[in-house]
Amino acid sequence: MTNAAKERLVTKIHDKWYDLTDFEKVHPGGPVSLGLAAGRDATVMFESHHPFTHRRVLDAILEKYELNESLSRDLKTLEEQHGIVEHQFNWESDFGDALKFHVREYFQAEAKRRDVSLAAAIKAPPERWYELTLIGAICAVCFISFIRGDWISLLTFPVSAWVLGVNTFHDAAHFALHTNWRINSMVPYIVPYFSSPFTWYHQHNIGHHSYPNVGHRDPDLVHYFWLKREHKSVEWQPTHKVQHWPWYIVAWWMLALEFGLATMNDFWMVFYKVYNDSVPMKTVSRTRFLLHVAGRVLTMVVIHLWPFLVLETRTRSIVFAIVPYLVFSGLFMMNTQINHLTPECAHETNKDWYKHQVITAQDFGVNSRFCFLLSGGLNYQIVHHLFPTVNHHHLVKLQPIVARLCEKHGVPYKHVAGYVAAIKAHHAHTISMSYNDKKKQSESFLISGTVWLLGGQVEVDVEAQKPGPAKAAGSS
């Protein structure tokens, strides 16, 4: 991409290039959401973020900003510049059309009931805002107790901060909280324990949501791949032999957020311009780059330094500087690893994007209010992946629609009872990925026995989980 092109918001959608620089000023989703498309192939984000907009409207807008061949022939996407092979999906889908039609019908009725626009109907309704306000008030009380150094707050504050964060950060980062893009952009900064919103957009919105469980495109498959193997596209290494041991899992879950998502992965991305060798970073100015780095350093310093300035003893200061983040990280991992990394989901694939979203995800605890609040609606993972810009409040009503259409179109819909079953399924996957391709069928018996001892009912087939010859994205 030329220097002139870098200064403008150009993107590639369905093999055509567009200059959306002028459209950025009037884009309903705001410059943050549109900016995710800058310089890259944004076909998946374009399709998944506009499921209820009539195609003729979208085509008319794109036609207005299309670049002719003379201006676009030399353009290369960020993926091409970094040698990342683009994964192509088929978008002509009877299943996808049925999903969009019936879900749109639901929101049209919702818009009529609330006397709002269709765009407003898919965001958080008033009752959701009341609920979030209550959660925020509880978190504020726990925070005051935390600042005072009450021992009980070592648990109550990170738990309440997690519940507040996951019920706000995730929706806002998907532009699903409010129709005002400024609110969606500011809310992710409320709970600093999460990763930077800028980094999260790359890892989650651009990478994982577009290409769930696609080797070399989903960055969530290769987080510290030399320490933990999550997918057959990752080459087995001796360190993976112990990844299913209890002490290893506890350490992994407790340390993953700070030493992974919130710090090291963030710094690696901004310095090497690509996230986990899967998602190229959006081009930013040097000033923006320095502000980002300074912001992350300041965030971590504040999180871990304040106890030493406020609390009276060194022991209490050390505990309050470390333990809350460990608890928060454990909750983060417990709610994010169980939705895609299971024996039935991890290695599924389909060229139909809508079917791919369904078969690579798992719901848990559907109709459980506890599971919904603690996971921020992540327990409705399938519906969320199909309609990422829809507020999680609505997923409870959409889930039966999606499940019915899956059955009608012969698409496997996976659901387990709750947290315990979901964690067991994820652990069975972790066990299967700890074995290399030289292990014999006798080890399948060992795995099945291990799962049985843990009280699980998940069948694991070692042969079906054999890794391919390819190395992980990022391996040398």
Span 120-134, average pLDDT:
96
Amino acid identity at 345: C
The whole-number pLDDT of residue 275 equals 93
Cα 398 from Cα 412, distance rounded (Å): 17
Cα 36 from Cα 4, distance rounded (Å): 18
**Domain residue extents for the chain:** 3-81, 120-209+240-336, 353-465
Cα 274 from Cα 145, distance rounded (Å): 40
Span 88-109, average pLDDT:
96
At residue 467 the predicted structure's pLDDT band, cuts being 50, 70 and 90, is: very low
Span 252-261, average pLDDT:
87
At residue 271 the predicted structure's pLDDT band, cuts being 50, 70 and 90, is: confident
Cβ proximity of 456 and 225 under 8 Å: no
Which tens digit of pLDDT belongs to each residue from 175-184? 999 999 999 9
Greater confidence (231 vs 451) lies with 231
Share of the chain above pLDDT 90, in %: 73
The whole-number pLDDT of residue 438 equals 56
Angle between helices 126-148 and 153-173 (to 10 degrees): 140
At residue 357 the predicted structure's pLDDT band, cuts being 50, 70 and 90, is: very high
Confidence (pTM): 0.88
Span 317-334, average pLDDT:
94
Cβ atoms < 10 Å from Cβ of 408: 10
Domain 3-81: give its CATH code: 3.10.120.10
Which helix (H) or strand (E) covers residue 298, if one does?
A: helix 286-310
Cα 364 from Cα 11, distance rounded (Å): 36
Given a cut of 70, whether residue 91 has pLDDT beyond it is yes
Least confident of 56-70, 101-115, 290-304: 290-304
- List Cβ neighbours of 126 (8 Å cut-off, separation of 6 or more): none
Cα 380 from Cα 392, distance rounded (Å): 8
Q: What angle do CA 53, 211, 29 make, to 5 degrees?
A: 35
The whole-number pLDDT of residue 461 equals 45
What is the 8-class DSSP label of residue 394? Answer: G
Greater confidence (348 vs 194) lies with 348
At residue 443 the predicted structure's pLDDT band, cuts being 50, 70 and 90, is: very low
The whole-number pLDDT of residue 439 equals 53
The whole-number pLDDT of residue 399 equals 97
Q: Where are the alpha helices (DSSP H) in 73-124?
A: 78-81, 94-114, 118-121
The whole-number pLDDT of residue 326 equals 93
Span 193-222, average pLDDT:
92
> 152, 151, 163: which is closest to 190 by C-alpha?
163
The whole-number pLDDT of residue 25 equals 87
Cα 273 from Cα 279, distance rounded (Å): 9
Cα 4 from Cα 2, distance rounded (Å): 5
Tokens of 231: 């997918």
What does pLDDT average to over the chain? 88
The whole-number pLDDT of residue 437 equals 61
Q: What angle do CA 7, 209, 160 make, to 5 degrees?
A: 105
At residue 6 the predicted structure's pLDDT band, cuts being 50, 70 and 90, is: low
Span 23-28, average pLDDT:
89
Cβ atoms < 10 Å from Cβ of 112: 11
At residue 191 the predicted structure's pLDDT band, cuts being 50, 70 and 90, is: confident
The whole-number pLDDT of residue 471 equals 39
